[in-house]
Chains A and B, each alone.
Chain A
Amino acid sequence: MSDDPQQTPRAKDGRAPDVFHEGGWIPMREYRETDEVDFVLVGTGAGGGTLACRLAEAGFSVVALDAGPYWRPLEDFASDEVEQNKLYWTDERICDGENPLQLGSNNSGKSVGGSTVHFAMVSLRFRPEWFKARSLLGYGADWPLDWREMWHYYREVEQALKIAGPVTYPWGPKRPRYPYRPHEVNAAGLVLAKGAEALGIDWVPTPLATLSAPRGNSPPCVYRGFCTIGCSTNAKQSALITWIPRAIRAGAEIRDLAMVGRVETDRDGGRVTGVRYQREGRWRFQRARNVVVAGYAIETPRLLLNSATDRWPDGLANSSGLVGKNLMVQANQAVWGTMDEEIRWYKGPPSLALTEHWNYEDDGKDFFGGYAIMSQGPLPALWASTQAIDRDLWGEALIQEMQKYNHQVGLKIVGEMLPQERNRVTLADETDQYGLPIARVTYSWCDNDHRLIDHALRSMTQAMQAVGARELWEQRNDTCHLNGTARMGDDPRSSVVDADCRSWDIPNLWICDGSVFPTVGGVNPSLTIQAIACRTGDRIKALAARGEL
């Protein structure tokens, strides 16, 4: 039988891959499709993987489906940009608008563990005020969550992933020290540090979800630098090697290569009954008392829209008309340059140092929102194509410029973009290999986005000049991460789910991933997605205890 995890499911017949041993297996409970399980989850990334664990540990029966393969990193992950394209969601999507997005490797995962298999591991908390952005800061929308409660869950996730970070954090309310010591900062990160010091602002070694000391079956990070194409040593604390093995130990079943095409409802459309999904070439149906959609901000609205019925002609959970709207990426602009010293930025995680100064400092801004600046370390093929496209460099000029690879440095932001209803996910006329309509993703920057970007490029240019970087150039056209499209709120007319990630329209339909963000802030979203999933798990447990599920 084929052991190609992209062709043949691995998690079946009562066992799942042991991610810590080549060729290894762990026992896994299996449910029948006719069993009405308590929860079926669609997606196993930062949202679905985390929630599957929390629900299983709370004693619920759980089946979690993922469209992607179930990897064993030690035997499956190469140090190679082309090969590792297999980690990304590469099914077709159409991008338009004034600023069409780049998806794929940039921000979309298709694996058990989702995008956490290839994320850059940057694990940051939101600034407290962002949870009340409308009331306190005057833009976007308020979250129905309190920052103090979220900080409790941030702490829980940081402990669960043994985040390596600094002893003290210079921005925001006091927080406890990170569970593991910070990583050594590479030369690319030291450039950021020197730049920040020259500007008189704080910086820290980035809090990262890769180990700085051994933990269980995971070794400490060896600084191989291929983090964004998958960690082949298991130092990275992805959902694949943290939440999911825990979920299976607690009795959850994971089904890999299982593409969900439709959430089914009962006759009057008042409740969902399970999901229709394709696995091993056949359409199947899994019954469930509750369905959690956790496919991230494109696949989640796509599935809800593709599940339209006579009762819900505009798609499920969409009486507000907001499913698919308010898609938010984050600004990801950079300033690059060349140093006399050898930098060799391919060593170590790509962002070992950062400053959140402009997330917390509001003086002197002519825009809403904030941004974090991080050091960078792009691999050669990505870096060369970035320079070719954004600097119009090709021919001998490109070859010569690439000779400077080991001397090049850069600073890049993760910046807040504002929610806009015109930025959205809709269904296109084309269909995919499963016969399902594909997503059309429409994106245009607003004036505020442009002002934030201009401000960030100025600050980064100052920092780069201060450290003596030469031949500076600005990369304007890049974005990262995906959020919004099913926002949470207090009012069914202006949100899709409530604070518990429960849809307003159908009480046993839940959404738990980055889709629920009303605003995105200026930090990478994964820690917040996992914190929301932990909170949702606790809330479901409490609701069940009161008979309110």
Chain B
Amino acid sequence: MPEGRLDRYPGYDVLRKRDTPSWNDVTRRVIDARLAISDRPRFLSETDWATLQAICERVVPQPPDRPAIPVAALVDDKLCRDDGDGYRNAKLPRLREAWQRGLRAIDAEARVAHGTGFVALDGDAQDALLRAAKQGDLRHPAWEGMPSDVFFDARLLRDIVHAYYSHPTAWSEIGFGGPASPRGYVRMDFDRRDRWEAVEAKGGDEAEVRRRNQRVG
């Protein structure tokens, strides 16, 4: 589980580059606004919000030793802005409708199978239900004909995973350089890094790597 997670980039924080030539004004504006999104719903109802939060914890579990990325709030923000993809599978309704219907259907499936809402299930039962959705096996009337597998891939996974990896905390976690305009990069070859890129720990060198990463900027 998350506590045992390998930290390949100890001490690296992409936000330390905020005031360097790697960030232009518009990037600072956009990321500041994202970091200011509070962890509460603006579009979804409280019930749907609770279900979404529980799903996010299964899809992108987070370690307890750092501030959590408000993944559900980022998805809710997308719904609030009705920020569509520009296309949709003919089997899906529009963005907002798909999410509302999908969240209610997953909760309804939990009640049929376990006599309790999705939020109250343990992690294994939640995962089993999500896997059934991925397989297209869920047919509760609450889906109103929307195939659970299409919803799972095209909306649930796509939007949640996209939200998590649009957050600077996730960029730091994977050692991504983050915003890079106008400075860009110089060293492009194998095993080369510019001094404004994350240092990777190779095992046993965490303390030194942490010190070096705290100077990245």
Q: Once the chains bind, are A79 and B23 in contact (CB under 8 Å)?
A: yes
Which residue from chain A places its CB closest to the CB of B23 in the assembled complex? A79
B46 at interface (Cβ–Cβ under 8 A)? no
In the assembled complex, the CB of B58 is this many whole angstroms from the nearest CB of chain A, namely 6
Residues on the A chain within 8 Å of B1, using CB? 396
Binds B, one of A119-127, A380-388, A454-462: A380-388
Is A369 part of the contact surface with B, judged by Cβ < 8 Å? Answer: no
Checking B157, B181, B193, B197 against A226 with a beta-carbon cut-off of 8 angstroms, the contacting residue is B181
Q: DSSP class of A's interface residues: helix, strand, loop or mixed? A: loop
Q: Who on chain A is nearest to B180 by CB?
A: A224
A347–B175 Cα distance when bound, in Å, is: 13
Count B interface residues, CB 8 Å.
Answer: 66
Give the residue of A75, A94, A381 whose beta carbon is less than 8 angstroms from that of B88.
A94
* A385 and B161 form a contact (CB under 8 A): yes
Neighbouring A residues of B182 by C-beta, 8 Å = 222, 224, 232-233
Name which of B102-110, B112-120, B166-174 contacts chain A.
Answer: B166-174
B174 touches A83 (CB 8 A): no
Chain A residues bordering chain B, tally (CB within 8 A)? 68
Contact A81 B61 (CB under 8 A): no
Could you mark each residue 93-106 of chain A with 1 if its beta carbon is under 8 Å from any beta carbon of chain B, else 0?
11110001111110
A343 interface residue (CB < 8 Å to B):
yes
Q: How far is the CA of A190 from the CA of B190 in the complex (A)?
A: 8
Closest chain-B Cβ to A346's Cβ sits at a distance in Å of: 6
CA distance A380 to B169 in the complex (A): 12
A90 at the interface (CB under 8 A from B): yes
Of all chain B residues, which has the CB nearest A339?
B190
Interface 1/0s, chain A 178-211, versus B by CB < 8 A?
0000001111001000000000000000000000
**Contact of A82 with B by CB under 8 A:** yes
A316 CB to nearest chain B CB (Å): 25
A348 at the interface (CB under 8 A from B): yes
Check if A394 sits within 8 Å of B59, measured CB to CB: yes
Q: Which residue of B lies closest to A230 (CB)?
A: B181
Interface flags for B57-70 (1: CB within 8 Å of A; 0: not) read 01111000000000
Tell me which residues from 402 to 425 in chain A have a Cβ below 8 Å from any Cβ of chain B: 402-403, 405-406
**Can you name the residue of chain A whose Cβ is closest to the Cβ of B94?**
A92
B198 CB contacts on chain A under 8 angstroms: 406
Contact B94 A80 (CB under 8 A): no
- Seen from chain A, the residues whose Cβ lies within 8 Å of a Cβ on chain B are 74-83, 85, 88-96, 100-105, 108, 184-187, 190, 221-226, 232-233, 341-344, 346-348, 380-385, 388-389, 392, 394-396, 398-400, 402-403, 405-406, 440-441
Please, could you name 27 A-B residue pairs with CB atoms under 8 Å apart, sorted by A? A78-B24, A78-B181, A79-B23, A79-B180, A95-B90, A187-B190, A190-B190, A222-B184, A223-B185, A224-B184, A225-B184, A226-B180, A232-B182, A341-B190, A342-B191, A344-B192, A381-B161, A382-B162, A384-B161, A384-B162, A388-B59, A389-B158, A394-B60, A394-B130, A396-B2, A405-B174, A406-B176
Residues of chain B having any CB pair with chain A under 8 Å: 1-2, 5-6, 8, 22-27, 29-31, 34, 58-61, 83-91, 94, 127, 130, 134, 153, 157-158, 161-162, 164-166, 170-171, 173-193, 197-198, 200
Known: A225-B184, A396-B2. 16 other contacts (CB 8 A): A74-B24, A78-B26, A90-B85, A101-B87, A225-B177, A226-B180, A233-B181, A346-B177, A347-B185, A381-B162, A383-B165, A389-B153, A399-B61, A399-B173, A400-B5, A403-B174
